[in-house]
Amino acid sequence: MRRFFAPAQLTHAPTRELHNGGFTAYAETPERVASILAAIGGASQPADEGDAAIRAVHDASYLDFLRAAPALWRDAGRPGDAIPYAFPIVRRRALDLTRVDALLGRHAMDATTPITADTWTAAYWSGQTALAATRAVVSGDRAAFALCRPPGHHAGADYCGGYCHLNVAAIAAQAARDAGCARVAILDIDYHHGNGTQDIFWDRGDVFYASVHADPATDYPFFWGHADERGEGAGAGATLNLPLPHGTRLDAFRTAQATALSAIAAFAPDLLVVSFGADTWEGDPISHFALTTADYRVLAADIAACGWPTVIVMEGGYAIDALGHNVASFLAGF
Ligand code: Q9C
Ligand code: ZN
């Protein structure tokens, strides 16, 4: 299986995040990549195909904001990384706002996703990495792995959040659609619900979204990922959420994943995108499931057995030393 990664993805390195009422070290570090590359034996540089496929998913005003935010923040005299603090939770509408704090709040769903001077470049290349893997699979590869970082599934069409800036799974799925795949499914098995991916495809019937994740009644992102969220309009029934409790082990996770795969099989996709997070591992520092390194091999084999051309994109996973082994186990199982 071909693997893709661009060194420019390493440049995004926020210093700290708001966590439980104080600042802690940022969990989504460049060291995550080093752990994965060491375990999987390297990756190929993706081509630079420009931003058309990114613009096919994200609003132009949001992309302009991601590029402009660091200078606006600096010009406002602020130290460190740009972080929002006020959010338009009601009467969300187009306003001609220019203050950096207004723009940050308008384009974020939480205060835990800083924007640095290098964020745009790193996120852009994370998108190129997802696109390179998609091009490989659309061209006939059975599967490909995109070592995306920053991750993507919490980012919506016009907002960042949850360590995510560009939704790499959505970019891959949309690129596959535009390359001629009539029906695309996304299986999200990160510990957290992929609210951004769900939002992007909420009212579309051509991209099926299924997610196995920690119950949002107890876990981030709280406001998305409940079992009654099934999509709307043309997308009615094309979203499937399977929340699970703290302490979930392989048997329950595998059963839920099988439910998701059955629903995807009924949808009959031409291509599958897997949003793979290893923050379901038993020792993850911010999560509460109990999968083992060997379990990833089983889960990946179950997905591979379905036979769909598959693009695997990296999402979360924060136990640095184990992360590479967990990703290698998943890829070996596939
Ligand atoms: N303060 C991904 O795994 N914070 N994002 C959770 C801790 C945000 C995780 C609560 C977690 C986002 C891609
Ligand atoms: Zn996660």
Say what the pLDDT of residue 1 is.
Answer: 97
Ligand 1 touching residue 315 (CB < 6 A): yes
Say what the pLDDT of residue 72 is.
Answer: 98
Q: Which one of the ligands is nearest to 222 CA?
A: 1
Ligand 1 touching residue 151 (CB < 6 A): yes
Contact predicate 192/154, CB 8 Å: yes
Give CA 324 to chain center in angstroms: 18
Say what the pLDDT of residue 242 is.
Answer: 99
Say what the pLDDT of residue 148 is.
Answer: 98
Tokens coding 8: 């420019």
Helix axes 119-138, 60-75, angle to 10 degrees: 160
Write out the E strands in 220-269: 239-244
99: phi then psi, degrees, rounded to nearest 5: -65, 140
Q: Which atom of ligand 1 is nearest to the CA of 18?
A: 1
Contact predicate 208/263, CB 8 Å: yes
Tokens coding 77: 């005299």
Sign of CA dihedral 57, 173, 70, 161: positive
- CA 296 – CA 149 distance, rounded (Å): 20
DSSP 111-168: SS--B-TTHHHHHHHHHHHHHHHHHHHHTT-SEEEE--SS--TT-BTTBBBTTBSS-H
Ligand 1 touching residue 126 (CB < 6 A): no
**Mean pLDDT split into 10-residue runs, the chain, 334 residues:** 98 94 96 98 98 98 98 96 94 89 97 97 99 98 98 98 98 99 99 98 98 98 98 98 98 99 98 99 98 99 99 98 98 98
Residues 6+ apart with CB under 8 A from 130: 146, 148, 152, 168, 169, 171, 172, 175, 311, 313
- CA 74 – CA 107 distance, rounded (Å): 18
Gap from CA of 277 to ligand 2 centroid (Å): 6
Residues with catalytic roles: 154
